[in-house]
A = this chain, B = another copy of it.
């Protein structure tokens, strides 16, 4: 049976079939397929032609087994999390992986969890994951970090609180964005500006809060703790926090929520108190999720290039795995204020 017949019948040409067709050894085929140097141009062409004719695809299992590399990246995320965020992370990571023929495996986790470390360890050893992408707040779990270090698995953290030496860290100018957002309100005359903090486990929470304080300071507005409430990046906590602010003797005229979901909660709290938005109260969010544009009124918020951040995270992680010089930590990504109708 010729290789051509084999291919036609099974749709599974092997490296031997290609070698036969091209009249070279399997090793040469391997070199061409893997873009290795030291192959004569004419040889390369012959091989490539055979590859095309036979529709040859290297068998990933054989490649992994022989090369002792899995070409698999893992993405560990909090399962109940804000999913529009994860969608973007997924999109970005997936596109980076596809470009370089890596596979991406997902591992949702419920936090907090005692079994977390076991679950991730099983995930990594089972699938022979080579590197892990850690979207916030996964980049800040000490147990997880320890595990990865023990397993000698490199990782890329997206928006962690603190960068880890030797690993990939992707940051966004969240503090600057929060600063700009707050300043935006100040410039429009607001002086009593409430703030709803995010989950302290997320690095983002502190940065967004810092930007708020920084803006107040710059404009000579006294910081008042009574205008600040703790939230947890979700709707209910935003609603509760806003309710407290709006029941204050002296009510703020604007509220900065640390993300859109909490801003949505704030909108609801305002509505329950008969406050017209934005006239009686301005509300701003953070993240520009789909929710922001579907709410009434549509939210003024901050857009982060999550997709690009995740893509870069995956790319730098792959570079790290392949021994390419780790760039100095990538410059933080820029955010963008999206002005809609929830602000005067």
Contact = CB atoms under 8 A, between A and B. Distances in A.
Interface of A: 11, 55, 57, 59-62, 64-65, 70, 79, 83-84, 86-87, 90-91, 94, 101, 103-106, 108, 125-128, 151, 235, 261, 264-265, 267-268, 271, 290-291, 293-296
A104 B101 contact: no
A34 to B, nearest CB: 15
B293 A271 contact: no
5 contacts: A59-B128, A61-B62, A90-B108, A94-B108, A105-B105
A302 to B, nearest CB: 18
Nearest to A56: B125
A344 to B, nearest CB: 18
A61 B57 contact: no
Contacts of A261: 294
Given A83-B87, A235-B290, 6 more contacts: A59-B65, A60-B70, A60-B127, A61-B65, A261-B294, A295-B295
B106 A94 contact: yes
A264 B291 CA distance: 10
A291 B293 contact: no
Contact of A106 (B79, B90, B293): B90
A276 to B, nearest CB: 12
A103 B127 contact: yes
A275 to B, nearest CB: 12
A30 to B, nearest CB: 16
Contacts of A70: 60-61
A293 B235 contact: yes
Nearest to A119: B98
Most buried by B among A91, A104, A151, A271: A91
Contacts of A91: 79, 108
Nearest to A86: B87
Contact of A11 (B59, B127, B151, B268): B151
Contacts of A105: 103-105
Contacts of A94: 106, 108
Contact of A57 (B90, B125, B290): B125
